[in-house]
Amino acid sequence: MKTQILPFTLLLTLLPFYTWADSWKAGAASVKITPDKPMWMAGYGSRKTPSQGKRTDLFAKALVLEDAAGNQGLILTMDLVGIGHPFALELTKTLQEACGFSRAQIALCTSHTHSGPVVGRNLAPLHYWSVDPEQQKLIDEYTDVLEEKLLGITKQAIANLAPSRLQHGNGKCTFAVNRRENKPYDTVPDRRAKGTLKGPVDHDVPVLSVRDAEGKLTAVLFGYACHATVLSATEWNGDYPGYAQEALEKAHPGAIALFWAGCGGDQNPLPRSEVELAVHYGGDLAARVTDVLKAPMTELDPTLVTGFREIPLPLQKIPTAEELAKTAESTNRFEVARANYLQRKMKREGAIGDTYPFPIGTWKLGKEIDFVFLGGEVVVDYAVRLKRERRGTQTWVAAYANDVMAYIPSKRVLLEGGYEGGGSNVYYGLPSLWDESAEEVIIKAVASQ
């Protein structure tokens, strides 16, 4: 007898276990956040001019989920290199007051594209010598407009809430390379072909699909652990995450694709530096997401539990006022910028603290997904360890979330040193290296939530 294959939409109506009265609700919205004036770009201290046109638009997107009991969660994704603590604090306060969310229900995720604008005072020492008063005014104005737009799409996503079916799956994408252990980079293609690339990586592509009552895809949330640094020109560009989202939305008209960056602090897209490569990597990532969407995906029970807290992450020895004054006379312009930044902080607040309020968010989606949101440029060791100690590939670890204040090295990387191990701290204005206990403090805090 010939087997009859039923359409997906008909299957939805026949599944006895799935009742819309006890289902998820979901709503999504999107808005362009491309600056409308030439502005200073974030991520590279070597740039000499503000932006010069755009290659692609930049977007912010909102996804609101509501479980069967009415518990809600909001994920905001942004095509930005990062946001700082003051902006995150102001934005989440606004969202709580205007939309009724608790802080635990809000996750702020950035793609870490290095072809987006400076936001607020994020990476201030890196841009200190480039940003004149006129540019700083444009940055401040853009930051205010950005907050308004994020509030707007959040309200729109809430208005779009409708019964939905959530499913999850996991794919693989392999263009991310451990940048600490595969130098020189021009040997990467040959090493890749021979299977001799070194170092830990996280090539998982977690996917969450949202479908409406007719089975149409309305949103897809996905992540990948790799720096968005294919490009370094002066055109606005979402880099490979932007191209991936664009490809998915083109393939699924009406759907909103949202990207979150994983623990890619020490992961690079290699080779790089050409627009064609950014398009290629974005297309490859979109294709892997599509593979997951086409394959059988696991139903997600309509339960959501969210948590958030800031922990005092310890730093090593803090410089004294005398030491800062001496550093301010250095010939290293970035050291001078950090010293000036810390001197102003000391004058304003009376002291430089020996800890940093490090943000950790946790979402439990159904019985399956363990979603962790970590601040900073987190190295891949954290994802590898958390997946090993928790739920394997069903543990999703986002970095660059809620506050991008510095690189977050594992103890291994901290002791090895180098850029990710602490050399980069000067560009963020962090007063010293992280304490050797930082990794264990973070892992224990995640476990306790």
Reference 313, options 438, 215, 174; nearest CA is 438
pTM of the model: 0.93
Residue 395's DSSP bridge partners are 370
> What pLDDT score does 299 carry?
96
**Mean pLDDT to the nearest integer, 263-287:** 97
CB 81 within 8 A of CB 110: yes
Q: Is residue 47 part of a domain?
A: yes
6 occurs within a structural domain: no
For 335: left if phi > 0, alpha if psi spans -120 to 50, otherwise beta; the answer is alpha
The confidence band for 130, taking pLDDT boundaries of 50, 70 and 90, is confident
What's the pLDDT score for residue 20?
53
- Determine, yes or no, domain membership for 350: no
Cα dihedral value 155, 74, 289, 33, nearest 10: 50
Burial class, 256, CB count within 10 angstroms (exposed 0-12 / middle 13-18 / buried 19+):
buried
How many Å apart are CA 440 and CA 48, to the nearest integer? 40
Question: Measured between alpha carbons, how far is 285 from 292 in angstroms, rounded to an integer?
Answer: 11
Q: Where do we find the tokens 């939530």? A: 449
- Cβ-contact 391, 366 below 8 angstroms: no
Q: Are 248 and 283 in contact (CB under 8 A)?
A: no
The mean of the pLDDT values for the chain is 93
Whole-number Å distance between alpha carbons of 291 and 286: 9
Tell whether omega for the bond before 7 is within 30 degrees of 0, i.e. cis: no
In whole angstroms, what separates CA 421 from the centre of its chain?
20
Which backbone phi and psi does 100 adopt, to 5 degrees? 85, 10
pLDDT above 90: percentage of residues in the chain? 82
The confidence score (pLDDT) of residue 273 equals 93
pLDDT at residue 12 greater than cutoff 70: no
How many domains in the chain?
1
| Residue 14 confidence (pLDDT) | 41
User: Considering the domain boundaries, does residue 195 fall inside one?
Assistant: yes
Q: Are 291 and 248 within 8 A, CB to CB?
A: no
394-408: burial string, b at 16+ Cβ within 10 Å, e else: bbbbbbbbbbbbbbb
Span 139-168, pLDDT tens digits: 999 999 999 999 999 999 999 999 999 999
Task: State the Cα–Cα distance between residues 63 and 105, nearest whole angstrom.
Answer: 12
* Per-position b or e across 128-167, b if 16+ CB within 10 A of its CB: bebbeeebeebbeebbeebbebbbebbbbbbebbbbbbbb
Residue that wins the pLDDT comparison between 347 and 308: 308
Q: What is the pLDDT of residue 16?
A: 40
Q: What would the DSSP string read from start to end of 322-360?
A: HHHHHHTT-S-HHHHHHHHHHHHHHHHHSS--SEEEEEE
In a domain, 335, yes or no: no
- Residues 49-81 have pLDDT tens digits of 999 999 999 999 999 999 999 999 999 999 999
Cα 76 to Cα 73, 369, 386, 428, distances in angstroms: 10, 18, 23, 23
Per the structure, the complete domain to which residue 167 belongs is given by 18-308+357-431
Query: E strands, 122-240, where?
Result: 162-172, 176-178, 204-211, 217-224
Nearest to 153 by CA among 216, 45, 77: 77
Taking residues 363-374, report their average pLDDT. 96
- Residue 393, pLDDT > 90, answer no
For every residue of 392-403, DSSP letters joined together read GGGEEEE-SBS-
CA distance 329 to 327: 5
Rounded CA separation 408/123 (Å): 15
